[in-house]
Structure 1
């Protein structure tokens, strides 16, 4: 994560908003393919009760077919994408990113099987090394050549590293073309893939329309706002979310009842997510200036709105992953269809009013999406809205306490020192206030932290 922060700081100061806007459009063009290339196979391998060699080989076969077709389509259509957005750089960027699809099939099913078996230490090892390779490559190449194309090349390096590392944990018998189970696999994974594609479209369509009808710079500002939230949220959801799906699938396959786990997951996630939203909201300006530099200050109000959107998502925290993990893929697909159509409509209506108004218009859409997912919680998991309200109320109390302390410290020490020192001080104060709030309101997470603290002390004592 530290390397990613350094990478973002370097790249944002060397490349212009126009450069990064073009890169965002290229990534957006590839994004649908990135979702389609998985084709729901990862979830199939995680959720399936019994895994055989034939089923894994079937997943590999589907992955090879889909990914290599996608690579070919993107490579030959790159010129048309560049003409559509009137950006020549997008042509080369799209063609370089298309190479990822040739490599991906050789590592996808291995990561899924590791996730199914909850071997997260191995997944973490692979992710960390791949991130280091990709990040270091991007920094070195961008400093050397100062062109946006090297970012796409660094992405390919990262994918190749991931695939090579998975070879350590795989069996070569899985790398076999086998058509026997592909119909059964495709029947399940098609729904998941369709929902994921629509969710991705819901995210990238605004950037496409802004790039076409507004400016590439606006795409970059919106991308930085979303990217900032995603960058920081990786510290929270990025660690917890990959564990949720295999955990719930295992519980569902074994006992069928996961109601109490829904409450627990919501409790633990919101204890991180909502206070985090408040911190980023208060220190949006300092974060932007530190990570990207003053030339990106247009993104500051956008980040604040993105914090509100991220907070609303917490009402149905990890909703899509939860429902997919228990096989409710048709409902997830229907929600994705509704929300994608509504988002495209909103973008077409509000894009002419400016970027800030457009992002504000996403708030009611986020509320509708969370409401639809909460309704399904009630029906599918048999959860109580009253019990969920109690969970929300407790975590809202923690978020309010930490927000008030962050806001107070921000007002008192805004001109105290540099952004780096101020943010470091603010982060320390935020953590202390968060721990105090957990203790004051007797949050269930307090016991887990206390237990972890005791284990660490025992470990230190035993070593000593």
Structure 2
């Protein structure tokens, strides 16, 4: 039998493989679609994204998280969640179908009526795959989840690229999402050993409701928090402006998803499995925090360093304003995986109510701030968004760890060496390469120099996480 450490390492590896390949594919197809489409195309999709994300959260209703948080879920528990999701998916799609004119009126954009009704079809595909995904996730079947996601990304993105080339504009982006959901759902069924039955017992739904309803509210609030800028930009500015911001947000999200997806592949399951041993659970959390910081700070701060060169070379000067937004967003993106770990630690300890309260407070603060500041322009809104999300890392830490031995000093000790090293490396790299005029040479030079310098700093500092990561990768290669 594999030890918990071995299962966690394997889950992190496949989570990293999954997200690494997906982000590479996202990079390739993002460049293709960014060149073929206009900011307004992305803006229209960004306006309605919040509704599909909230609908997905309502459809799941927190029960997939409840399954993962259950020590040993039974087949009947998965079956109850499956049929509940089927019912919710149908009801929510019909509600959104008839609400499409209201959404279009909010943004004063008639094209959204037909787009909403088509783009939300993905809800009907996803509702049948939630229980299968939870089963694979709970059993640390990260390899199968990775294969499903990678295959779905390749096929859906290829179709979207062809459609964009043929002039289908924003319809290609909506099709990409729908196809991804459909293909990944079918493959989760293929890889999962569990199958639903017609013998339905909703005992688990009733038992888990007090916990799951808080997760549901928190999920809805999280989606609002993540998309508050798109909602307000779509309302008070143009589709073109919304598309420019959304392009920056999506590129930042590709980087943060690389680390978050890797960690979230295992963190909830592992933290729940050791929650009866609080000291061991805290040791697991700290190791995950160090790993996330080790990867996140150089990746996001480095991406911010090369944002202008990357955007101009990859998708053209028409997106130049997005590069400026991207530089700012990458700063708070660097701490997002750590904030997510703190939030998941809070959930693993059964504090779904506190998780909900923290998420609600952040959402309200962001909405009030953005509504107050939108007359001062998008740049002011983006900078404020960054500051609030940086500050909220400490709020998550306070509530997640206030009755543990994990002090603020220890958390800073776990993350600051990586943050300072990455910031110093990016500053030095920017200074050394500042006189290079050719954008291609500048991009390549900065990427190579920053990577070499960060690795050298970690080696000289004797970073244990670097040694453990290197040893695991070498062992994996030898086994292959």
Query: Structure 1 CA distance, aligned partners of 2:474 and 2:210?
Result: 48
Extract unaligned runs of 5+ from structure 1.
Answer: none
Given candidates 98, 112, 131, the residue that maps to 1:109 is 131
Q: Deviation at 1:190? A: 0.6
2:382 matched to 1:359? yes
Matched residue, 1:201: 224
CA RMSD of aligned residues (A): 2.1
Query: Structure 1 CA distance, aligned partners of 2:125 and 2:403?
Result: 38
Matched residue, 1:252: 275
Matched residue, 1:439: 459
Query: Structure 2 CA distance, aligned partners of 1:354 and 1:255?
Result: 47
Given candidates 68, 80, 91, the residue that maps to 1:69 is 91
Matched residue, 1:297: 320
2:243 matched to 1:217? no
C-alpha contact 1:273 1:311 (8 A) present in aligned 2: yes
Matched residue, 1:47: 69
Given candidates 123, 132, 137, the residue that maps to 2:145 is 123
Q: Deviations over 1:298-347 (max 9, x none)?
A: 11221121022223446645222222233221101001111111111001
Runs of 4+ residues over 6 Å off in structure 1: none
C-alpha contact 2:135 2:194 (8 A) present in aligned 1: no
Matched residue, 2:430: 407
C-alpha contact 1:274 1:314 (8 A) present in aligned 2: no
C-alpha contact 2:263 2:288 (8 A) present in aligned 1: no
2:411 matched to 1:391? no
Q: Deviation at 1:387? A: 1.7
Extract unaligned runs of 5+ from structure 2.
Answer: 1-22
Range 365-374 or range 295-304, more displaced: 365-374
C-alpha contact 2:293 2:418 (8 A) present in aligned 1: yes
Given candidates 335, 346, 350, the residue that maps to 2:369 is 346
Matched residue, 1:423: 443
TM-score, length of structure 1 as denominator length: 0.92
Query: Structure 1 CA distance, aligned partners of 2:187 and 2:402?
Result: 42
Count of residues paired in the alignment: 457
Query: Structure 2 CA distance, aligned partners of 1:66 and 1:127?
Result: 24
Q: Secondary structure at the match of 2:90?
A: helix
Q: Deviation at 1:131? A: 1.0
Matched residue, 1:157: 179
Given candidates 224, 232, 235, the residue that maps to 2:258 is 235
Query: Structure 2 CA distance, aligned partners of 1:181 and 1:268?
Result: 35
Given candidates 38, 41, 53, the residue that maps to 2:60 is 38
Q: Deviation at 1:364? A: 3.8
Range 444-453 or range 152-161, more displaced: 444-453
Q: Deviation at 1:4? A: 1.8
